[in-house]
């Protein structure tokens, strides 16, 4: 269900939750609200948070404009990123696997438009070379995420409990990747 609050596009999603949450995305704002909450209560909440929402939207637009000015990566730059990833990521996997309590198979680095990482049933791990352009904590999060698939091959609450056990602040980096990842992928030729 879409709604327009002045010049900001707002999508409201009702569910069985007890509290309101607001997520700022490039396209607008997503509000998750309890089933019985009135539109007026939601609008009052949005008015209270308007300065915060506008600040986050402005930051996102600024980041997007910066990334759009960057030229597409060349094949040589992608090769350099892949070579760097072949050094950095196995070290991180070696560090986090014992913390997650798992083993792993082969590690492969790729240039992908659709995934940051993956884990096969056999424990083979694949990672996107574009991770080398991101903050170190984001790389750590993706490594921990894939290693935790060795315990849970899904994205259930049990899976995220494993991720949180290894990396309690994972939510911050998961959100960063969600907000910024597409801008990095847009640099692929």
Domains of the chain: 2-69 (no CATH), 75-185 (3.30.2010.10)
What pLDDT score does 46 carry?
92
The answer to whether residues 137 and 171 touch, using CB atoms and an 8 Å cutoff, is no
The answer to whether residues 31 and 11 touch, using CB atoms and an 8 Å cutoff, is yes
Q: Distance (Å, rounded) from C-alpha 60 to C-alpha 95?
A: 32
Please report which confidence band the pLDDT of residue 188 belongs to, taking 50, 70 and 90 as the band edges: confident
pLDDT in tens, 88-138: 999 999 999 999 999 999 999 999 888 999 999 999 999 999 999 999 999
pLDDT in tens, 64-94: 777 677 778 999 999 999 999 999 999 999 9
């Amino acid at each position: 269900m879409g709604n327009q609050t002045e010049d900001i596009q707002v999508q409201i999603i009702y569910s069985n939750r007890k509290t309101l949450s607001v997520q700022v995305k490039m396209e607008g704002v997503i509000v998750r609200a309890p089933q019985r909450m009135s539109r007026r209560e939601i609008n009052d909440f949005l008015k209270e948070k308007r300065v915060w929402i506008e600040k986050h939207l402005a930051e996102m637009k600024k980041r997007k404009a910066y990334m759009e000015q960057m030229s597409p990566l060349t094949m040589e730059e992608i090769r350099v990123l892949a070579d760097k990833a072949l050094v950095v990521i196995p070290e991180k996997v070696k560090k986090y696997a014992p913390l997650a309590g798992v083993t792993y198979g082969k590690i492969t680095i790729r240039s992908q438009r659709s995934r940051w990482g993956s884990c096969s049933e056999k424990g083979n791990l694949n990672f996107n070379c574009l991770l080398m352009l991101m903050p170190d904590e984001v790389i750590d999060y993706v490594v921990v995420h894939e290693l935790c698939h060795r315990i849970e091959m899904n994205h259930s609450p049990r899976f995220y409990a494993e991720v949180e056990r290894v990396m309690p602040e994972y939510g911050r980096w998961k959100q960063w990747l969600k907000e910024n990842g597409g801008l990095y992928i847009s640099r692929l030729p």
